[in-house]
Structure formats: C-alpha cells, structure tokens
Amino acid sequence: MKARLEEQLADALATLKTDGLVPSDVSPQITVTRTKDPTHGDFATNLAMQLAKPAGVKPRDMADALVAALPASESVREVTIAGPGFINFFASESTLSDVVRRVLDEGDAFGRSEVGKGQRIQVEFVSANPTGPLHVGHGRGAALGATIANLLSAAGFDVQREYYVNDAGRQMNILALSVWLRYLSAGTAADFAFPSNGYRGDYINDIAASLRETEGDAFERDPAAVFSGVVDDEVVAADGTTTGDKEAHVDALIERAQTALGDNAWRRVFDHGLEAIIEDIRVDLGEFGVNYDEWFSERSIASDVEQVVERLASAGHLYEKDGSRWFRSTAFGDDKDRVVVRDDGRTTYFASDIAYIDNKLARGFEQVLYVFGADHHGYVTRMKAACEALGHDPQRLEFLLIQFAILYRSGERVQMSTRSGSFVTLRELREEVGTDAARWFYVMRRYQQHLDFDLDLAKSRSNENPVYYVQYAHARICSVLRELGHRNLAFEQDAGLAALDQLVEPAEAELLTLLATWPELLERAAIAREPHQVTGYLRDLANGLHSYYNGHKFLVDDDALRQARLCLLLAVRQVLVNGLTLIDVSTPEVM
C-alpha cells in the first residue's frame, strides 16, 4: 500500500511538472508514512510542503494540486489535507481486509522482503573468551545477535553468523595453568597456593577431573619445582596495603608449567581445557536457540597477523617506540596510537583483531556487523582506523554496542565474576525462567539501554509478563479452533475470504491495520537492527487479539460472519508465529 501510494504521488508530481506548476529540475524524496492517529487516516505524506517553496506557492495550495492530480485508486476511500499541507490517505475497507488473504496465502513468508537481496553481511556475536561457561551477561548479546541475524535474513540479506574463538593468548594460558594446577592438587599431597589470578570456578575442577580421567597421571609434576623462586602472589594486608604482584606471579607460573610439561604435554592440557569449554558453550547456545555458521579460530590466522603488521609497516602506518611497534591510529581519528608488537616480540590482541578484519572483508562480506558489549566502545575507532589503513572502506564495519543486562532475584542485584567463579550462568537462567522468557526479555528493550532482568516477572504467568501475554494470544486462537471442532461447525477458508466485508467492528479494523503494518515494521526493524520493534509489535497485536476475544464471539450462528472472523483469527495466529519465530520463542497451543 505504501509503495503504491508513493508511485501514485510520483505520477501526480510528473503531471504537475508537465503542467508547469512545479519546476522540472525539482526532485524531492517522496515518502509515505503510516499515521499514528487513525483519525488522520492510515498513511500521510509531506510532499506538498517539500514542493511549495521551489514552486512558489502555499503548501496547502500545492497539496490541493497534488490531490487533484492523483490517479484514481480502489485502495483509497478518502484523501484529506490537514495542517500546513499534510496529505492523509484513508485505505478502503477492501484494502484492509485483503491483508487477511495475503497472510493466509503467504504463510511463513508473510512480512519477508528482498530489500537486502544480493548483499552479504556477517554478524559476529557473543565471541566470549572460552575461559568459562557463558553467564547471564553473555545472554543478551547472544539473543540480540541471533535475532538481528534472523531479521536480516527475513529482509533478504545473505547472512553469515560467526563466533570468534579466542583460542590463543594470555587468558587461555591462564586457563590451561588453572586446569593443570587443579589436576595436580587432586593427585598429589603437595601443598601449594592456587594463584589469585587463576580461574577458580567449580567448572575448572570438573575439567581437571576429566583430564585426569583421560590422561591418568601423565601430567604429574613436582609442584615445588613450579612454585620455587617465582614472584610472590599479591597479598592484601588488613590495613589494605598490598605486597607481591599477581600478574607477574601467574605469568611466571605459566612459564614454569610450560617448561615442566614440555610443548607437547602443555598443548594437550591447553587443548583439553579449551575444547571442554567450547563444547559447553556450543551446547549451551544451541539449547538457547543460537547456532552459528562458523566457529572461527584465532589460531587459524596466526600467520596472517605478521603479514598484516608488515602491510601496515610498508604503508608507513607503524613506528617504533620503547622497543614496541605502534600503529599510528591517531592519523585515522583515534584518540591515541596502539601497540601491535610488544617489546618482547609478541603481537597484541589488537594485531589479531586487525588480521581478523582483513580476513572477514577478504571473504567478500559487504558489511561486517559486530555485536559487542558496551565496554568495548573503545574498540570502534581503532578498528575502523585499522580497516582504513589496510585500504578498506571503514563504513563496511558496523558496531552495535550492547548495554549490560543486570539480573535481579527477589529484588536484589546478582553480582558476577568469571575469574572468581561466583556468577550466574546462562544455563542456570534458562533453567529458572525458561528459554522463551530469557530470549524475549533480552531483546525487548533497545540494545542501547541497560536491561534490568526481573526474574520474578519473567517466571510469572500473568498479563504483566509480556512473553506470556503474547503466547497466550496464540493459545487462545488455538482454543477457538479446537472448540470449532468440538461443536462440529463448518469452516471453509475460501468462504471466509469471500466474506471479509463482514469485518466491520472497530476491533476488527484495528487487527487488520496491525496485520498490514507487519511487513514494513519487519523491514524497518532489520534495517535499524532493532529487535525490540518486533516485541513491541507483538504485544500490540496480542493486545488487539485479547480485546477482540473478550468483546466478541467467533463461533456465531451467522455462517458468513463466522467464516470471516475465523479467517481473521488464522491470520493473526500466523503473524504471531512469524514474529515469535524470529526471536526464537515458542508458540504453545495450550497454556
């Protein structure tokens, strides 16, 4: 409807140009929007106000001329002019009811478009360091990333979903050390203090136990030889003063462990911990409805990192200072330059990020979308700077910075720390509130807003719980269809479609209008990367259905009216299914 109106306005404008009322070189952006107030019609345009000044006439006079030049249309029952020159369009009843036919005709495809056809886009999300189970903080990025990818696919984009596995670097070495030390403590009487900077969660004990189960005592070494002479760990005195150095302590232990085990055994311990956690993450996300096309290993681009560093050096974008090699990112708008090679010759995480950017774009993605936590805001400028320095268009990189999800249980905030192990896992959240509620609650607010996740509300079976409210609308429609069978009443879809002119109640008009807005809302949500638009729409649609259900009977004696109302219910159910499927929320038939 909106596209047809824009075409008709373009025809009217062409007529006014031919008649000399509008200069031929004027090319306005013709935009039709859906009105918020139904008394102002279904659609409106400000085209007359755009044309008034170059044509040298009053906006309302230009609006009169445009309306007079509009071609006749069966889809419009009335056109009015309001305010300073807005043109309002009232859709005909047949146009509104035709949406039911479209929904039932297109089914699961209703609302999908091809606006992104031919465009390849990669969505990278979660990509949490594989140093422990996913916690509730990761859940929001998982739900948003997966839903945004679904929206983009529905809008016709060729989408690839990717998880970047940080399987190299210092944090992974700390994980391997933590696993090995727990392995030793379970198999020897030797007494040693676990490093304060190690990973302490119970999951480390579980991984260490599985390592001993598969490898026996193959990795037993003398702990005294590992701890002897290393820098003291950090100790905090009662007065708050500290001694020792926890960072230097853990780094020294890693070096000793690598020496004690040798390269081969160290790599086996390292890989055992890595694979155990990656598999746990993969299963956890799968049960959360989140799946990936690619799990991309940081180690797979190790050789590319050096090549990218040399490319930057050859292009004059690196300089040396204090023994390190620095990327001159300030030349591209960053607030400071960045180290890419440390003074000991090791490349930095940022150098790996640069190589990863180059790898992504070399794979042919027109757009690369990063779904990051808000704490990564400093990455945006430096990564775009690196992208430009490598000769790529930095606009091909897009960053969604997700604000934190704060979990509340019984009105109290739950604290989380991966290193200490005192955190609520995503799996625990799903077990407590269910996957449906978790998926919904994570995406129901703008990603730029903090999310207070109310566990009590998420578990409630009440109209205040939005996911319950929407699912109940679907279940109510299913109950009507079951009752239809119990009462042995006939329903023929073709007969119902032929009787859609029977739908004249205000509640029916509201539902018809909502159904008609679904395609444009879906497209808009995809382009804006805003899943909350979908949850907001579904609440409105569910509210319309509940109001209709509470105020009207569907299985009436009047055959034509019954058939028409059942067709409308089927259309509403279909759109509820289409919307809930995009956010991976189930559609129960009984509640």
Q: Is the pLDDT of residue 410 over 90?
A: no
Domain definitions of the chain by residue range? 2-91, 170-287, 463-582
Can you say how many angstroms the Cα of residue 477 is from the centroid of all Cα atoms in its chain? 29
pLDDT at 286 over 90: yes
For 137, the token pair is: 């903080």
Band of the pLDDT at 419, cuts 50, 70, 90?
A: very low
Average pLDDT of the residues of the chain: 93
pLDDT band at 188 (very low <50, low <70, confident <90, very high): low
Q: Edge-to-edge strands of the sheet including 43-45?
A: 32-34, 43-45, 86-91, 76-82
pLDDT score recorded for residue 39: 80
Rank 25-34, 42-51, 558-567 by mean pLDDT and report only the highest: 558-567
The model's confidence at residue 416, banded by pLDDT at 50, 70 and 90, is low
Higher pLDDT, 395 or 34: 395
Give residue 176's pLDDT band: very low, low, confident or very high (50, 70, 90): very high
pLDDT given at position 207:
96
Query: According to the model, what pLDDT value does residue 240 have?
Result: 85
Task: Note the pLDDT tens digit of each residue in 354-385.
Answer: 999 999 999 999 999 999 999 888 899 999 99
Identify the top-confidence range among 36-40, 166-170, 467-471: 467-471
| Torsional class of 364: left (φ above 0), alpha (ψ -120 to 50), beta (otherwise) | left
Place of tokens 């159904």: 515
Could you please state the CATH topology (level 3) that the domain comprising 463-582 is classified under.
Isoleucyl-tRNA Synthetase; Domain 1 (1.10.730)
| pLDDT for res 567 | 98
Q: Would you say residue 424 has pLDDT above 90?
A: no
Judged against a pLDDT cut of 60, whether residue 522 lies above it is answered with: yes
Burial letters 189-221, b for 16+ CB under 10 A, else e? eeeeeebbbbbbbebbbebbeebbeeeeeebeb
517: its two tokens: 């807005």
Q: Answer yes or no: is pLDDT of 422 > 70.
A: no
Of the candidate CATH numbers 1.10.357.10, 1.10.3720.10, 3.30.1360.70, 1.25.40.20, the domain formed by 2-91 belongs to: 3.30.1360.70
Q: Residue 417's pLDDT is what?
A: 52
- Whether the pLDDT of residue 120 is over 60: the answer is yes
Are residues 377 and 407 in contact, defined by beta-carbon separation less than 8 angstroms?
no
Q: How confident is the model at residue 94 (pLDDT cuts 50, 70, 90)?
A: confident
Average pLDDT over residues 190-210: 91
Mean pLDDT of the 249-266 span: 96
Strand stretches in 154-273, DSSP E: 158-165, 235-236, 242-243
**Per-residue model confidence (pLDDT) at position 415:** 67
The DSSP string of 52-104 is: HHHHTS-HHHHHHHHHHHSPP-TTEEEEEEETTTEEEEEE-HHHHHHHHHHHH
| Buried-exposed string 33-45: b where 16+ CB fall within 10 A, e elsewhere | ebbeeeebbbbbb
Residue type, 339: V
For residue 189, the SS3 value is: coil
Spatial contact of 5 and 89, defined as CB atoms under 8 Å apart? yes
Confidence of residue 587 (pLDDT cuts 50, 70, 90): very high
Is the pTM for the entire model greater than 0.85? Answer: yes
Span 79-94, mean pLDDT? 88
Specify the range with the lowest mean pLDDT, choosing from 233-237, 390-394, 493-497: 233-237
Give the model confidence (pLDDT) of 307-342 as tens digits: 999 999 999 999 999 999 999 999 999 999 999 999
Confidence of residue 190 (pLDDT cuts 50, 70, 90): low
Angle at alpha carbon of residue 398, lines to 395 and 403, rounded to 5° = 150
Strand partners, 122: 160, 368
- d(C-alpha 194, C-alpha 227), whole Å: 10
Reference 356, options 124, 177, 24, 555; nearest CA is 124
pLDDT at 421 over 90: no
